[in-house]
Structure 1
């Protein structure tokens, strides 16, 4: 994220007067989308529910009053956060001021642990939340990845949160040595009404998925383009589609393509909409969409690049063998991972070309998709919306 961020004005008062039943705080595009689905489900059961959010346009469309678009300022990496420290400090204080003034009955944090866990702890310290002696109930949906790093956070979470709803079954055991109530509520991608955004089609273009964070897209998209260009040398008829979540991300993609004029007529930029898109293969970052791709049975590869110091620190403390969540769940590299210097054009191109030359790659992707759906299906029929409504 290259532009200077400015601290937002004080947030608006709740619409229509009266109290706020629920405040949702979701700072990523994926969290905004998942939280929006939960809110729609809740609204069907409780149409009168008054909800405000720090999130994005999806939550707003689902019926929440948007206080501030957190998804527009989503960044990743320690050094990137430090660069914008003043902004996030101001945003944090604005959020606390709003909560202290309007006292929502319940707060649900969605993912985004760097911001949300600090906010939960501060609410406890100030005596606003139940854990601090106040009246505000605090839930957390889509917990931080303590199984990957910073496992000690679970004890602070138990002190600040009333309960946690997790989307991977193995996460429940991660908290068994705390008194925090934890429930596996199923993954959003296995909901009965979930429409997968992708499907495998051997005749379709390749997908290039650089992610949804501005800084990450600026780093990763040029890598994907280099791999795609290399693959074109062996397969001249290749074409690609790039999915983008917002107009701001499209601007970044267009800026990158200005320097790749020979590729522009081979690549289509497509907004992230609710239509199923066919793909023959994929080169992608390791975000939430990578799991959606895996569950659609599409073969390909994962690539990622961070600030060198952020990556070095991450390797020092990460406790898992893979970056992609589908690889972690299956305990094998369903999608090979090419990180940092290993993400060469030749390696990425090879992942795409191998799909056509080795039929077992496609078969393995399909079997992986079946296994993932089985793993992520909850034992009970309780949904995330029902779990959250228990407190409302």
Structure 2
């Protein structure tokens, strides 16, 4: 692990004499997807030497974890500005490490605010293939250019050697560039995917506030108040890390709310976790629930300035990815002041007592699974191996 004190960030050298692949994944979802890719890579190509800037799942996958990026993941303009000195030091150390140890390839996983800048810097310093160097620069899981900042695709074509996407329509988003783009299937439909949740009409309510500290601190009290107003059955809260658990506990939930670590679903005596309905943020876990056919609703609250600025640049009808893919509200969205206890409690009652809604949710889940099935052309690991 890296030594981090304030803005002093230092990564260790590679465990061996050299490294074939450096993975950079700054969020919990990227850590999970990249870890699955590394496990397959190590099975197929055990000789590969892999290092990572990511999280605990990448570390457990067999990659050498240089620094836990997920522990400091933030979202929003205001939040990033508050932590700017740390991110500036982190970026400089990442560049220094790459320049010193020269991996054969760098695979950037989502996390566009950091990773796209890193790709540009590698080119500008002459380290990447696009800059005349030897390091191949890959990108797995495209930024949502279909939602905002579509013009980024031209800079990405300038800086990247190849892109792997998880939604089939994303290939067309890059059709007017020279960037090679391949659909590799959605990771939640991979052969070894183990769903963390399943639908059970008799199960508890699921509360999913997300994985970023600042967002969880705003969203969880909203979900909790909606659940309190509902009051018909117990709830389960899945959390990704001890850091997030401490934030959740500050809300002082009632005794019928149970916390379960996402890495340890057996804590409830069953895997996956059964749920009758869900109140969720708009993040990755909402897709797990959508694919499992769990009825529910999305609640989201951001810093007011972050939300205002976001509304100026984001031009999509929904914030939930399942809603966007289906072009209809599988999960009704309650944003900012609309996320009231009464509104969320009403949604939970509808989820549990409206048979037509349950049937509609099951149909929508089946359509999503058909849309996102794993590509016949190969997995993300096969794509990376072919690039190497």
Tell me whether the two structures share a fold, i.e. TM-score over 0.5: yes
State the SS of the aligned residue for 2:250.
helix
Q: Deviations over 1:71-121 (max 9, x none)?
A: 000000001101111110011001000001000110000000000000000
Off by >6 Å, runs of 4+ in structure 1: none
Q: Give the TM-score of the pair, scaled to structure 1.
A: 0.95
The 1:304/1:99 distance shift into structure 2, 3 A limit, reads same
Compared CA separation, residues 301 and 5, structure 1 to 2 (3 A): farther
- Equivalent in the alignment of 1:249: 244
1:308 aligned to 2:304? Answer: yes
2:7 corresponds to which residue? Answer: 7
Distance 1:136 1:123 in 2: 9
Deviation at 1:356, TM superposition (A): 2.4
Local SS of the residue matching 1:293: helix
Secondary structure, counterpart of 1:390 in structure 2:
helix
Matches within 5 A, 1:321-360: 321-360=317-356
What's the offset of the Cα at 1:48? Answer: 1.3
TM-superposed deviation, 1:5: 7.5
Give the secondary-structure state (helix, strand or coil) at the position aligned to 2:238.
Answer: strand
User: Are the aligned partners of 1:187 and 1:377 in contact in 2 as well (CA < 8 Å)?
Assistant: yes
Q: Does 1:202 align with 2:201?
A: yes
Determine the C-alpha separation between the residues in 2 that align with 1:10 and 1:50: 20
Whether the aligned pair in 2 keeps the contact of 1:27 and 1:71 (CA below 8 Å) is yes
| Partners of 2:305 and 2:9 in 1: CA distance | 33
Please give the alpha-carbon distance, in whole angstroms, between the structure 1 residues aligned to 2:72 and 2:375.
36
Q: Secondary structure at the match of 2:206?
A: strand
Gaps of 5+ in 2: 266-270
Aligned to 2:268: none
- Secondary structure at 1:169's aligned position in 2? coil
Unaligned 5+ segments in structure 1 are none
1:168-207 → structure 2 map (5 Å cutoff): 168-207=167-206
Give distance in 2, aligned partners of 1:191 and 1:293: 16
**Residues 1-392 of structure 1 correspond to what in structure 2 (within 5 A)?**
6-16=6-16, 18-232=17-231, 235=232, 238-257=233-252, 260=253, 263=254, 265-273=255-263, 275-392=271-388
Higher alpha-carbon deviation: 72-81 or 189-198: 189-198
Deviation at 1:368, TM superposition (A): 1.1
CA contact (8 A) 2:190 2:374 kept: no
**Structure 1 residues 108 and 60, CA, compared in 2 at 3 Å: closer, same or farther?**
same
1:207–1:242: 8 Å Cα contact kept in structure 2?
Answer: yes
Q: Is the 8 A contact 2:163 2:182 kept in 1?
A: yes
- The Cα of 1:10 is off from its aligned counterpart by 1.8
Normalising to structure 2: TM-score of the pair?
A: 0.96
Superposition deviation, residue 375 in structure 1: 0.3
Structure-1 separation of matches of 2:61 and 2:137:
21
What is the CA RMSD across the aligned residues, in angstroms?
A: 1.2
CA contact (8 A) 2:166 2:186 kept: yes
In 1, Cα distance between equivalents of 2:48 and 2:12: 18
